[in-house]
Structure 1
Amino acid sequence: MRDTLESILLQVSQNADIDKGELSIASRLIINSVCEGLTISRAGIWLYDDAMSLIKCQLLIDQGNHLDSESLALTRKEFPHYFKALDTERSIAANDALTHAATFEFAEVYLTPLGIASMLDVPIRHRGKMIGIICCEHQGEMRQWHEDEIVFAASLADLYGRAVSANERAVYEAKLIEANQTLEDNVKQRTLELEKTLQTLKTAQEKLVESEKMAALGNLVAGIAHEVNTPLGIALTSVTNCRDEVNAIHRDFEAQRLSEQSFKEFTQHCAQGLDLAEASLTRAAQLIQDFKRTSADQTSLEVETFNLDDYIPRICNPLKPMLKKEGIRLELDITPDLVIETCPGTIAQIITNLISNAQRHAFSESRDNTTPQIEKRVVVTCKHTPSGIALSVSDNGKGIPLAMHKKVFEPFFTTARDKGGTGLGLNILYNLVTQKLNGEITLTSQDNQGTTVGILIPAT
């Protein structure tokens, strides 16, 4: 190959525009190089359609007529000899294009009007498949296409195939970038939606926990109101009686009928009445104090170090009236000097919920007729173990069927919906134990053999 052609070919192969992916720029570079190397003024790139039934001009440069594009298409039906030659996928070197077996069909409609005497068509291949041709057209006198010129044109056609590959990569990369951007946008949108949903769920959970707290405190208030009225009534009766005795002794004194014996009886009677009033008022004050501490703890989230054998009885004390009304005896079995560092309000809510749950459900229906009636009992046990503090609330009620064990801690599961049950109590309890206290919760129960809810929590 002549040095001139080799130089042009080297320059084109090293040009960055071939591999940038901008096919239009690469196409013009190649066609201009064809025209320069072959000293022609007219050349173009023609590509097959998918069915290979026609070739269409993608770029045509005619330097003589200052034309750099032209929309032309050649069909297999109109030019069968030309397409038969193309099917061989070899270069077509038509020195005399007007008479050559592959190009004579163009004589009247294309060659003669444009003054084209010779044609050189070289195949463009991409990934081993012929996708089109570079058509080199010599105007004027006929010329002989030399071998090095055919190789030169074929090499430029191969470079066009390389440019097509670069263009495909660029298109794929652009699509990938677009897809990634779309994916990122979708992820951001989904993330925002999830954050909103989580915030909504968190708010709903907080409301449910607060609602359950209020329900537990409502049970306490109902029991306390009844229980406090009893000692207050006794104290009021005793004080009223003492006042009557004071009025009577005052009348005897004014009438000078007061004797030593009647004064002794008066003091003895008043002392007994005042002792009874004091005991009743002390009992009422203790109930109110325990209720205030329990209700205050259930609305507090502060972590404290406290003694469970002192704290649990004060939690349970306000619950006794509620249980007493149902004929249920409350028993406590707590290891002495059992110290824990945690949130007392959570402990108070857990114990209150468990005892209230046992009161509402364990004895809500009579046991089967074959089982003797027994004393209703709820037992609160708290002990120290190597793994932490083990707290449990047990009852000797009707029990829970084995099939329901996996469901009792699920939200909205309840067997007492017709009685106003929401099915949230044990679910909130489960979340408090596992999330707030980092503990574990278990359920042990069988039909007619009672229920035990066990809780294991860290000591700190």
Structure 2
Amino acid sequence: MKRSLENILLSVSRSSVIDEGDLDRASQLIIKSVCEGLNIDRAGIWLLCKNKQEIKCILLLDQNATLENISLTREQFPLYFQALDSERVIVAEDACEHSATAEFKQVYLVPNNIVSMLDSPIRHKGDMIGIICCEHRGQCRQWSGDEEVFVGAMADLYGRAVNANQVRSFQQKLEQANAVLEREVENRTEELNFTIGQLKSTQDNLIESEKMAALGNLVAGVAHEVNTPLGISVTSTSHCIDELQKLKVKFENGELEEKDFQYFLETMTDGLQLVERNLSRAAELVHNFKRTAADQLLLEREHFNLTKYLEQISSPLRPLTRKQNIQLVINLDQDVFIDSYPGAIAQIFTNLVSNCFRHAYPPSFSGEKIIVLGAEDLGDKVKMFYKDNGIGLSNKVKNKIFEPFFTTARKDGGTGLGMSIVYNLVTQKLKGKIEIISGINQGLEIDIIIDKNTPD
């Protein structure tokens, strides 16, 4: 190939215009380069329709003017289309006489002063999609082999540009799809965040309701328990008042004897001691309940004696267990001091005992009912534990027991949040670990391991 044609071809093949996906710019570059290389002033790109019954001009340069939207049909020019069907180069040195182009003479060649044509097929992915049509004016022109190769190479470059255009189109569609998807994701994320917020609010309300339900059980149990010593105190006080009235009558009537006064003193001593013991018992119950309830609501960090605190917790729990005919046993090491959150510990044991009432001992359970609460000193750590001799858990229930809203007592009003609260308090507030040991008809043991100094 002549050096001048090689240079033009090399320049076009290296141009970024060919591969940037702008088919209009690539078409302009190719046709202008064809006109320059062949020294002609008219050339164009024609593309076949899918049914190959029509060929349309998408770009035609004629003396620096740009023409488009010219079309030829197979019905009008059958011989030309037969030549195109061969997918070979059409070399017409005398276009008016050439078998493939002669039928253009009156309608196209003569009006445009075209004497010679060189049509090279454009291929894309193996299929011929159109031609580059080179048209010479003046004297008939003998097209050289180098010129045929040059135009064929330019046609191949156009095929490359078509491929780049498709890639660009796919990328744009992909970008648009991604943009739509991103907007959809943003919308869905916003909806999801809103829904999560609502669920979180609902969950928080349910958790608070569960906490208040546990406190409500404590209130009911403590109220019942306090009524007993208060009732005894009231009865004893009434008896003392009656005896005092009798003594007053005898004194006013001058009938008071030493033995009557001695009996009165003994009666008052017994009665007042009975009142003192029962009021002290009631005061202790109220004090322990107030401490437990306040701790559960505040969850403040303290340095405290875990042993004594668990004894305080057990005090308001005993009325509940006694009402359920359950024996509550406290098993503690001596004076274990920790720096942690007593309120969280109170909530944990209150929830565990309340959970036991609903699940551990169904009406069909026979035998003695026992709950054991306790703690063991493990050096830098403490193990707190809950045990009962109830019906135990299956593996399925054991694996799901800490999941929020999982419950086997939905029909009885269970929310499925009690054990979830326990798990969150142990793992998040106390930074500890919790382990379930249980089996069918083997009771339940829950071990809670925490540091003596809870990490912040």
TM bucket normalised to smaller: 0.7 to 0.9
Q: Percentage identity across aligned positions?
A: 52
What is residue 342 of structure 2 aligned with on the other side?
Answer: 344
- Residue of structure 1 equivalent to 2:69: 70
**How far did residue 133 of structure 1 move?**
1.3
CA distance 1:54–1:215, shift in 2 (3 Å): same
Tell me the amino acid that sits aligned with residue 453 of structure 1: I
Question: 2-side partners of 1:446 and 1:176: how far apart?
Answer: 56
Kindly indicate whether the alpha-carbon contact (under 8 Å) linking 1:393 and 1:454 is maintained by their aligned counterparts in 2: yes
> Pairwise mapping of residues 87-166 of structure 1 onto structure 2 (< 5 A)?
87-126=85-124, 129-166=127-164
Residue 379 (structure 1) shift:
1.2
Comparing 251-260 with 313-322, greater Cα deviation is found at 251-260
Q: Which amino acid aligns with 1:177?
A: E
TM-score under structure 2 length normalisation: 0.88
Q: Secondary structure at the match of 1:114?
A: coil
How far apart, CA to CA, are the structure 2 residues paired with 1:181 and 1:341? 53
The whole-number CA distance in structure 2 between the counterparts of 1:8 and 1:411 is: 74
Q: 1:315 to 1:34 in 2, by over 3 A?
A: same
Find the counterpart in structure 2 of residue 370 from structure 1: none
CA contact (8 A) 1:60 1:70 kept: no
Paired position in structure 2 for 1:455 = 448
Distance across 1 between alignment mates of 2:360 and 2:331: 20
CA–CA separation in structure 1 for the residues paired with 2:43 and 2:111: 16
Deviation at 1:220, TM superposition (A): 0.9
Aligned AA (1:72): S
**CA gap 1:413/1:170 in 2 versus in 1, 3 angstroms:** closer
CA 1:81 to 1:425, structure 2 compared with 1: closer, same or farther past 3 Å? same
Cα 1:384–1:314 shift into 2, 3 Å = same
Deviations 1:346-397 (A, max 9, x none): 2111111111222333333233xxxxx5432211122133684322222223
- Show the counterpart of 1:422: 415
The aligned residue for residue 237 of structure 1 is 235
Displacement of 1:172: 3.3
Quote the residue 1:431 is aligned against. Answer: 424
| Letter matched to residue 136 of structure 2 | H
Structure 2 residue runs without a partner (length 5+): none
Once structures 1 and 2 are overlaid, which stretch shifts more, 229-238 or 44-53?
A: 44-53
Aligned to 1:263: 261
Amino acid at match of 1:395: D
Do structure 1's residue 191 and structure 2's residue 189 form an aligned pair? Answer: yes
Q: Given that residues 404 and 420 in structure 2 are in contact (C-alpha distance below 8 angstroms), is that contact kept between their aligned partners in structure 1? A: yes
Partner of 2:21: 21
Deviations 1:14-37 (A, max 9, x none): 554334322112212322333344
Q: Find the aligned partners of 2:41 and 2:407 in 1 and give their Cα distance.
A: 91
Deviating more after overlay: 322-331 vs 51-60? 51-60
Partner SS for 1:406: helix
Residue pair 2:92, 2:118 contacting (<8 A) in 1 also: yes
CA separation in 2, counterparts of 1:221 and 1:447?
32
Q: Is the 8 A contact 1:365 1:398 kept in 2?
A: no
2:44 aligned partner, one-letter code: G
Partners of 2:104 and 2:337 in 1: CA distance = 106
Q: Is 1:354 matched with 2:352?
A: yes
Structure 1 unaligned blocks of 5 or more:
368-372
2:362 corresponds in structure 1 to: 364
- Asked if 1:300 is matched to 2:298, the reply is yes
Q: 1:3 to 1:330 in 2, by over 3 A?
A: closer
* Structure 1 residue 101 displacement after superposition: 2.5
Instruction: Name the amino acid aligned to 1:339.
Output: F
> How many equivalent pairs are there?
453
Name which of structure 1's ranges 282-291 and 377-386 shifts more when overlaid on structure 2: 377-386
1:58 maps to 2:51: no
Take 2:8 and 2:393, find their aligned partners in 1: how far apart are those partners?
92
Cα 1:39/1:417, change in 2 over 3 Å: closer
Change (3 A) 1:227 1:56: same
**Cross-structure match for 1:384:** 377
CA distance in 2, matches of 1:204, 1:418: 20
Equivalent residue number for residue 276 of structure 1: 274
CA distance in 1, matches of 2:396, 2:141: 97
Tell me how far apart the structure 2 counterparts of residues 417 and 122 of structure 1 sit (CA, whole Å).
Answer: 81
Of 189-198 and 349-358, deviating more is 189-198
Cα drift, residue 256 of structure 1: 4.1
> Contact (CA 8 Å) 1:394, 1:450: kept in 2 or not?
yes
Could you tell me how far 1:321 is from its partner in structure 2?
1.4
Cα offset, 1:430, TM superposition: 3.2
Tell me the residue number matched to 2:438: 445
Which stretch has the larger CA shift, 298-307 or 83-92?
83-92
Equivalent residue for 2:387, pick from 394, 403, 409: 394
Specify the code of the residue in structure 1 equivalent to 2:450. Answer: I
Structure 1, 341-350 or 6-15: larger mean CA deviation = 6-15
Higher mean alpha-carbon deviation, 449-458 vs 406-415, is at: 406-415
Work out the CA distance in 2 between the residues paired with 1:288 and 1:21.
84
Match of 1:35 in 2: 35
Which one-letter code corresponds to 2:415 in the other structure? T
3-state secondary structure, aligned to 1:211: helix
